[in-house]
Copies of this chain bind each other. A is one copy, B any other.
């Protein structure tokens, strides 16, 4: 159902000929009326042209449409790329009769290659004609690159609905990952508060995903609220605020889980939970360090519990902690106790940990001490298939 599950949105997706494969590569999300909007964007210095454009246009927290192309990332394309992003969104604005300022843009695909503008512009009338209140699936399909399946999620909270879709399987790391995420709601949320929902309910979840520690040039998370559900504006003082945050959380969790489950070459999802850190930041560093370690990732692929690699990654993370207070477990099996790989593990625990490593989802829980800081990272194994995909694919 994705982005058209909430009332007040239409969407479409089609093959414009941007991708050599001929797969769907142009997508449009359009609100029935100008609506509240908020965004989160990559921290990469080489942010793609549409990232700069969308960030700028979102200053007023309003938008009407989002035009997305896959196939070319429009990053590393300089002034020409900026002009292409302007032209594409301006052409779309003109064809639907709205100000260009209300059109956001996203691109994903090969970095450095100019967007195939002739094909894009030629396909716009057909794309606009295809807009539909049931077009969420077509939209979710046309934003994909090496993804194997579309990722969609939705929650019906009674008073309002929320839905979303996402893409991204590699060049994924916190701050943010190479992903495009689109979340819509028909809840009546003023623009200023929508940013707060994006920060509180979406950011932590999408920042917890890491496939390969590579922060992309194009990451974008967009949140649009049509208000079509009716009712009073929802603000942090409203009774519905909590329910809205919960629903946004649920959609984000579902999409994040779908993203990591479709990561390049994935066989196991690795969930790293860190508690007891001095700060959230320290907890995040440790969670990321373990989830991103090529040695932990190859161990996950090989089904080898290998606590030494977890210990190494914690110790090299840069986080501040007392090594004598560090505990870790794989599933229910303690593999580090008080900073030491315990004799009980070496003598009898390895089999249980090895069994846990066979699970589709491998859980590594780490306690750094007694501080309040906690965080979570969602990673995956490093397989032959990851190497194959990335040795063959031109990003």
Task: Report which A residues bind B (CB closer than 8 A).
Answer: 43-47, 73, 75-78, 80-81, 110-113, 170-171, 173, 175, 212-217, 293-295, 298-299, 301-304, 306-309, 311-316, 321, 323, 336, 338-341, 345-346, 382-384, 386-388, 390-392, 394-395
Contact = CB atoms under 8 A, between A and B. Distances in A.
A307 B390 contact: no
B295 A170 contact: yes
A312 B111 CA distance: 8
A312 B216 contact: yes
Contacts of A295: 170-171, 212, 214, 390, 395
Number of copies: 2
A293 B214 contact: yes
Contacts of A73: 308
A315 B175 CA distance: 12
Contacts of A341: 76-77, 111-113
A301 B52 CA distance: 33
Given A81-B340, A302-B392, 7 more contacts: A44-B312, A44-B316, A46-B312, A46-B323, A111-B307, A213-B213, A298-B390
Given A312-B395, A341-B111, A346-B112, A76 B307 contact: yes
B315 A113 contact: no
Contacts of A309: 111, 171, 214, 395
Nearest to A296: B214
Contacts of A387: 298, 301, 382-384, 386-387
Contacts of A75: 308, 311-312
B395 A306 contact: yes
A321 to B, nearest CB: 7
